[in-house]
Amino acid sequence: MMASEEHPLITEYRNWSQESERLSRRARKVFPGGDTRASAHYDPYPLVMEKGRGCHLYDVDGHEIIDFMNNFTSLIHGHAHPAVVGAVSEQVAFGTAYAAPSLNQIELAELIADRIPSVEQLRFCSSGSEATLMAIRCARAHTGKEKIMKMEGGYHGSYELAEVSLVPYPESRGALDHPSSLPVDKSIPNSVLEDTVICPYNEPELAKALIREHAVELAAVIVEPVLGSMGMVAATTEFLQALRSETEELGIVLIFDEVITLRLSGGGTQAMHGISPDLTSMGKIIGGGLPVGAIGGKRELLQIFSPDTRENVFHASTFSGNALTMAAGFAAMSHFTDAEAKRLNWLGDKLREGFNLILHQNGICGQAIGLGSLTNLHLTDEPLHDSRDTLKGIAAAGHISRLLHLGMLRRGIMSAGRLMYCISTPMGEDEVTAAITALNETLIELRPFIKQERPELLAM
């Protein structure tokens, strides 16, 4: 195939989604690159959706698609859950945002605090990004220190510090025991890099040494219990416990970013590991499909935001705790029980088992990893321990990952472009089986191209 020619499987995708392509050309006139959300974009263009119901999406070309992306894990009940629709419909008739307290604010806060033992008080905001940002500000105000330690490959939202060393580029990431602070793009100032200490993921001894080395200047250590943007690599209990023991001894605030992982049990991933952080950042599922964030934790820390506190941390956000989101969130969380979380985790196990079997049967190097209802496909047989490993796997797979994603879409299975899958409550074994079948059919279609274009991905 000549360099200027389009890959036949991309042409297949274009032929299958002609109305989405037409609308993508229209979108490019008003949006840079034709989209308004970088994480949801994929080449040659994303499908344009018309509606969603349950675990299905319906695009403008008339395709019915099982949604394993769920707006990047936020739609725990899929689309248009009757209880959420009812709560939102009732609330919108009474107004959407008051710039004043409402009963459903209190009810949702009580529900969350009751489920997560480490959350004594909390504060709502408008996004997961804002939740991690305010957790960091809280830690700085509490400790009087400025530097933050985050994990290499960790993602905590869309602001400068949160994206430092999100992608550990091999040519500049430094040694594993002292990773470099890397900008994700040209918008990151050097001052932010200097205030951010990077810690290797899943390396307990190296983490403890780095925390001790920087203890006098560290306000907080922030960690995702599962690396969401870098392939759903789960932290070990040993690693998280090392972070907890060192920060506790040295008076450093430990922040768990559970924006994605709160779905894994009633009390989040911290309950699964039996570890209590000082602060927890939340978002996604607690908003019932509407924009939301929350910071929760120890009362003494949360009091820093109290208007009654002298020199309090100022936090004003127009839609924080708005009545519409609170209504949706309370309905969604009321219908998400610990038993449901366990069922979804079981389905996630089945999905990974099925994916791994299909990869093996087709002789393709690859593995499905993750935790509970969160899964990521990787086209590599190498062990995946941290973001350095997943980045190496991404490079090895090259364009085949993109073709796999488009092939699954054509077979009615929606995932993130980075091959992330998550389970929602409308799903059962039939949907998991459909995804496994679609992977098998896609790999059969892909295999001749892999043999020709990326033969190193063939396991036999």
Q: How confident is the model at residue 176 (pLDDT cuts 50, 70, 90)?
A: very high
If asked whether residues 233 and 135 sit together in one domain, one would say yes
Counted residue by residue, the chain has a size of 460
Q: Is residue 251 part of a domain?
A: yes
How high is the pLDDT of residue 180?
Answer: 96
- Quick check: is 93 in a domain? yes
> Which among 13, 45, 155, 201 is annotated as catalytic?
155
CA 148/CA 195 separation, integer angstroms: 6
Q: Is the residue at 314 inside a domain?
A: yes
Q: What is the pLDDT of residue 1?
A: 52
Burial class (CB in 10 A: 0-12, 13-18, 19+), 203: buried
pLDDT tens, residue by residue, 278-323: 999 999 999 999 999 999 999 999 999 999 988 899 998 899 999 9
- Note down the domain range covering 453: 8-79+338-457
Give 236's pLDDT tier (boundaries 50, 70, 90): very high
Q: Are residues 195 and 222 in the same domain?
A: yes
99 has pLDDT over 70: yes
221, 203: one domain: yes
66-79: pLDDT as tens digits: 999 999 999 999 99
Q: Which of 59, 67, 195, 257 is catalytic?
A: 257
pTM, two decimal places: 0.97
Any idea what the CATH number is for the domain that residue 425 is in?
Answer: 3.90.1150.10
- Determine, yes or no, domain membership for 231: yes
* 2 pLDDT more than 90: no
Assign 39 a pLDDT band (cuts: 50, 70, 90). confident
Q: Identify whether residues 182 and 305 lie together within a single domain.
A: yes
| % of the chain residues with pLDDT over 70 | 99
Is residue 257 part of the annotated active site? The answer reads yes
Task: Please tell me whether residues 166 and 314 are part of one structural domain.
Answer: yes
Q: Is 186 a catalytic residue?
A: no
Question: Identity (one letter) of the amino acid at 250?
Answer: L
Structurally, how many domains does the chain consist of? 2
**So what's the pLDDT on residue 110?**
98
- Count of alpha carbons within 13 angstroms of residue 110, beta-carbon side: 5
Could you say which of 281, 312, 334 is where a domain stops?
334
The active-site residue, picked from 150, 208, 284, 298, is: 284
Percent of the chain with pLDDT strictly greater than 90: 94
What span, in angstroms and rounded, lies between the C-alpha atoms of 451 and 60? Answer: 34
CATH classification of the domain holding 198: 3.40.640.10
* Residue 309 confidence (pLDDT): 86
Q: Please write the tens of the pLDDT for every residue from 7-23.
A: 999 999 999 999 999 99
Nearest-angstrom CA–CA distance, 232 and 353: 15
Q: Which of 334, 351, 372 is the last residue of a domain?
A: 334
- The answer to the question of residue 263 being in a domain is yes
Residue 3 has pLDDT above 60, yes or no: no
Same domain, yes or no, for 199 and 74? no
Please tell me the distance from the alpha carbon of residue 128 to that of residue 258, in angstroms, as a whole number. Answer: 9
Residues whose CB falls within 8 Å of the CB of residue 356, separated by 6 or more in sequence, listed in order: 366, 367, 368
Q: 220 with 359, same domain? A: no
Among 173, 270, 182, 277, which residue's Cα sits nearest to residue 221? 277
| 155 is annotated as an active-site residue | yes
Q: Could you tell me if residue 63 is inside a domain?
A: yes
pLDDT in tens, 187-198: 999 999 999 999
Are both 354 and 217 inside the same structural domain? no
Residue 98 sits in the same domain as residue 35: no
Q: 255 or 160, which is more confident?
A: 255
* Residue 325 included in any domain: yes
Residue 286 domain-assigned (yes or no): yes
